[in-house]
Amino acid sequence: MTVNLQLPSGNWNYPTAVRFGAGRISELADACRSLGMQRPLLVTDPGLADLPMIRDAIAANEAANLPTGLFSRIKPNPVGGNVEDGVRAFRDGGHDGIIAMGGGSGLDAGKAVAFMSGQTRPLWDFEDVGDNWARADAGGIAPIVAVPTTAGTGSEVGRASVITNEESHTKKIIFHPKMLPGVVISDPALTAGLPPHITAATGMDALAHCFEAYCAPGYHPMADGIAVEGMRLVQGWLEKAVADGADLEARSHMLSAASMGATAFQKGLGAIHSLSHPVGAVYDTHHGLTNAVFFPYVMVFNRPAIEDRMTHLARVLDLPKPGFAGVLDWILTLRETLNIPHTAKDLGVEESRLDELSKMAAEDPTAGGNPVPVGVSEMKRMFEAALAGRVG
Is there a contact between 102 and 44 (Cβ–Cβ < 8 Å)? yes
What is the predicted pLDDT for the residue at 54? 97
Q: Record the pTM.
A: 0.94
Q: Which domain holds residue 346?
A: 195-388
Q: Are residues 135 and 71 in the same domain?
A: yes
Q: Are residues 295 and 381 in the same domain?
A: yes
One-letter amino acid at 186 equals: S
Mean predicted confidence (pLDDT) in 277-283:
95
What is the predicted pLDDT for the residue at 178? 96
What is the predicted pLDDT for the residue at 1? 43
Q: Are residues 173 and 204 in the same domain?
A: no
Tens-digit pLDDT profile for residues 65-109: 999 999 999 999 999 999 999 999 999 999 999 999 999 999 999
Residue 3 lies in a domain: no
Q: ∠20-290-215 over CA atoms, to 5°?
A: 70
* Domain stop point among 172, 190, 208: 190
Cα atoms in the 13 Å half-sphere on the side-chain side of 84:
11
| pLDDT value at 392 more than 90 | no
Question: Mean pLDDT across the chain, nearest whole number?
Answer: 96
| pLDDT value at 3 more than 60 | no
Structural domain count of the chain: 2
What is the predicted pLDDT for the residue at 5? 56
Centre a 10 Å sphere on the Cβ of residue 328 and count the other Cβ atoms it contains: 21
What is the predicted pLDDT for the residue at 2? 46
Tens-digit pLDDT profile for residues 128-140: 999 999 999 999 9
With cut-offs at 50, 70 and 90, classify the pLDDT of residue 4.
low
What is the predicted pLDDT for the residue at 51? 94
- Rounded CA-CA distance 369/372 in Å is 9
* Domain stop point among 190, 208, 225: 190
**What is the CATH number for 285?**
1.20.1090.10
Q: Are residues 205 and 293 in the same domain?
A: yes
